[in-house]
């Protein structure tokens, strides 16, 4: 099939390259000229497991452009939906992308992949499309891709959700996803929109729940990981997303939960559970500093920070839990020595004033304490001998060898 993807970010690029791998002709459109130039040369502009190889393998089926001329077939809208000050999302990019696509199409399907509040596709985007043509249909097809594992998740999803307004559109999209072995749910766009928000909200709730139990466990001198092992064996609960730590970050969970809460508030409902999930998440990273303060007054001390990305195996620092921690430590007058295998360039844009090192060894040298904030594999085994004081506090559970150090976990 002929597919156009508007927005070549993490979601759009992974989706486009994966559709090309399945044998479709894909055109990627993005306003970022530099990004488009890279894609044209077969260079992936972001890090995503397997993306570089898959892009190169499918270059004969992938085109990239900054303009929309004469598109047809299926158009996926994958542009960003940044937060507004009240937590609701800024729909301008989505609206603009839908209008531009509709203006350049005779017929076809516009599929919304960007996460939008229930009702957006039907009430806001459909009228924009109808202004240009009655031969273009609209659908909502949320993504459930984890950053870093996006290509794997695309090829092996738990389910595919198609929110369509008519059978013909639903059939076309089902056909497109046919090579993928997963159950397909066909519903309307509004239900599809809420499935996406409810899924992310539930996963985030699991994490804040694990952190709530973790905070209590720490107080009682109990290891929350042992507790959750026992809890997770109940098949109704499942073992995933129960890892306590410094909370969730990234471009999706915090933004989506705030958007859900803001949208619900304008509809007249106060989402108290979601509010609590966000509150726990805001407080969680600062707990690691409270533990540090048991050992020292951070002012004038040198603190090594290992892990800057919002999770391991990505260079993405959006809503990373390292940000509030570094901010607070700087406020307290500490000196920071930071290291991350991939995310240092991105963090330098937020904190140009801290020191960055090219290895764990250099970052921990002469440090008064070390905070581990991301579960990168290379943090499993660290020799802390070069530290001034061997105080290590973990925000994620990754360290294997704790011999000869003073060790604490944020919830264990």
Contacting ligand UGA (CB under 6 A), which of 94, 138, 228, 252? 252
Q: Given the structure tokens 């007054």, which residue do they identify?
A: 297
Q: Catalytic: which of 78, 252, 370, 411?
A: 252
Stretch that binds ligand UGA, among 12-20, 65-73, 155-163, 239-247 (CB under 6 A): 239-247
Q: Comparing C-alpha atoms, which of 156, 101, 109, 161 is closest to residue 135?
A: 109
Site for ligand UGA in 292-331 (CB under 6 A): 310-311
Contacting ligand UGA (CB under 6 A), which of 169, 200, 302, 313? 200
Contacting ligand UGA (CB under 6 A), which of 250, 298, 395, 409? 250
φ/ψ of residue 303, rounded to 5: -115, 125
Contacting ligand UGA (CB under 6 A), which of 64, 101, 109, 207? 207
By CB under 6 A, the count of residues binding ligand UGA is: 20
The reply to whether 411 belongs to the active site is no
Is 245 a binding residue for ligand UGA by CB under 6 A? The answer is yes
Closer residue to ligand UGA (CB): 45 or 249: 249
Residues 6 or more apart whose CB falls under 8 angstroms from that of 165 comprise: 122, 126, 137, 138, 139, 188, 189
- Minimum CB separation from ligand UGA for residue 354, in Å? 20
Closer residue to ligand UGA (CB): 172 or 257: 257
- On whether the CB atoms of residues 295 and 393 are closer than 8 A, the answer is no
Is 248 a binding residue for ligand UGA by CB under 6 A? The answer is yes
Other residues' Cβ atoms within 10 Å of the Cβ of residue 291: 18
Q: In sequence order, which ranges of 24-182 are alpha helices (DSSP H)?
A: 33-40, 51-57, 92-103, 126-130, 150-155, 167-176
DSSP 125-153: IHHHHHTT-SSEEEEE----PPTTSHHHH
How far is 286 from 277, CA to CA, in rounded Å?
Answer: 15
- On whether the CB atoms of residues 215 and 287 are closer than 8 A, the answer is yes
Is 242 a binding residue for ligand UGA by CB under 6 A? The answer is yes
| Chain positions contacting ligand UGA, by CB under 6 A | 143-147, 200, 203, 207, 241-243, 245, 247-250, 252-253, 310-311
Question: Looking at the annotation, which residues are catalytic?
Answer: 252
């Amino acid at each position: 099939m002929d597919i156009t993807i508007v927005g070549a970010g993490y979601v759009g690029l992974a989706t486009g390259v994966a559709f090309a791998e399945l044998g479709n002709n894909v055109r990627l459109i993005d306003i970022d000229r530099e990004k488009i130039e890279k894609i044209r040369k077969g260079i992936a502009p972001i890090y995503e497991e397997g993306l570089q190889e898959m892009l190169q393998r499918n270059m004969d089926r992938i085109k990239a452009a900054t303009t929309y001329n004469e598109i047809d077939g299926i158009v996926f809208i994958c542009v960003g939906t940044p937060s507004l000050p009240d937590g609701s999302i800024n729909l301008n990019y989505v609206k603009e992308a839908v209008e531009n696509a509709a203006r350049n199409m005779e017929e076809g399907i516009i599929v919304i992949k960007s996460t939008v509040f229930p009702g957006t596709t039907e009430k806001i985007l459909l009228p924009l499309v109808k202004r240009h043509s009655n031969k273009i249909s609209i659908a909502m097809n949320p993504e459930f891709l984890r950053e870093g594992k996006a290509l794997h998740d695309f090829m092996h999803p738990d389910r595919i959700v198609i929110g369509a307004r008519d059978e013909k559109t639903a059939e076309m999209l089902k056909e497109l996803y046919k090579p993928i072995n997963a159950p397909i749910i066909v519903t309307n766009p509004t239900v599809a929109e809420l499935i996406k928000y409810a899924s992310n909200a539930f996963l985030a709730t699991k994490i804040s729940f694990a952190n709530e139990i973790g905070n209590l466990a720490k107080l009682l001198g109990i290891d929350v990981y042992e507790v959750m092992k026992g809890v997770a064996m109940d098949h109704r609960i499942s073992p995933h997303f129960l890892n306590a730590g410094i909370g969730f970050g990234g471009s999706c969970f915090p933004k989506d939960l705030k958007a859900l809460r803001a949208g619900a508030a304008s509809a007249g409902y106060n989402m108290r559970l979601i509010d609590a999930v966000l509150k726990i998440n805001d407080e969680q990273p600062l707990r690691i500093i409270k533990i540090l303060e048991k050992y020292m007054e951070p002012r004038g001390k040198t603190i090594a920070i290992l892990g800057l990305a919002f999770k391991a195996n990505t260079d993405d620092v959006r809503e990373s839990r390292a940000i509030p921690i570094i901010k607070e430590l700087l406020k307290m007058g500490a000196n920071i020595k930071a290291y991350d295998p991939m995310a240092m360039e991105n963090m330098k844009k937020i904190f140009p004033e801290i020191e960055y090192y090219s290895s764990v060894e250099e970052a921990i040298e002469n440090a008064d304490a070390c905070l581990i904030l991301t579960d990168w594999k290379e943090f499993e085994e660290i020799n802390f001998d070069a530290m001034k004081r061997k105080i290590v506090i973990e925000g994620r559970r990754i360290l294997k060898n704790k011999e000869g150090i003073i060790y604490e976990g944020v919830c264990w």
